[in-house]
Structure 1
């Protein structure tokens, strides 16, 4: 994203932060997208019903947003700012960048109905 006020974090950075319990990763994609494939530990707060005041802010972990490509998470950051919340970071490139980097996800296999841990 070209907005200098939004911090683009790399997939490797986000993974390290999740592993060190430094962040709460919020996925703003819709429930069907989240169910189809998600990042381990991400919480789903869909943009269509996004309420910044419902986010788990104020704890020791920072909130980092994530979507499919980075567009919706940037929109959610703007909503957080409008609500006066200190949320300024997202996964640059979204889950697409995460998958392209070969990082693990949890996926639903529609053919078998199984949940697949893609490590």
Structure 2
């Protein structure tokens, strides 16, 4: 199994656009609902089961959280379970925002879904 790596936001963006990866957001549902990366699936760390990941398909798994700490913990859980992943978004959604990449946000006043940077 190839070791998982720290991936930069631009690499993750390009891999998502090319449909080469599945991005797994390990933040809690309220965090995911408030703000997320387009196309990310939510598998919260609090109930994370590496065997439940959509593995074995043509796309590599990349993990993501708010800062990189929880996705690194999830990578460790995957390693221990023998589940291969490509890596995690280094710096999480915070690094994604800092790179001025698009996110989906929910307007708390109206509940409207908005694309943001």
**TM more than 0.5:** yes
1:59-91 deviation per Cα after TM superposition (whole angstroms, max 9, x unaligned): 010000000000000000000011111124000
Distance of 1:6 and 1:74 partners within structure 2: 10
Secondary structure (helix, strand or coil) at the match of 1:99 reads helix
Q: What whole-Å deviation, never above 9, does each CA across 1:71-118 have from its counterpart, x for those lacking one?
A: 000000000011111124000000000011110000011022211112
CA RMSD, 1 decimal: 1.0
Equivalence for 1:85? 83
Return structure 1 stretches of 4+ with deviation > 6 angstroms: none
Q: Identify if the C-alpha distance between structure 1 residues 88 and 17 changes in structure 2 by more than 3 Å, giving closer, same or farther.
A: closer
Q: TM-score, normalised by structure 1?
A: 0.93
The unaligned stretches of length 5 or more in structure 1 are none
Match of 2:62 among 61, 64, 83: 64
Q: Which residue of 1 aligns with 2:6?
A: 8
Q: Structure 2: where are the runs of 5+ without partners?
A: none
Q: Which moved more, 1:10-19 or 1:109-118?
A: 109-118
Residue 30 of structure 2 corresponds to 32
- Aligned pairs, number: 115
Alpha-carbon distance, 1:20 to partner: 0.1
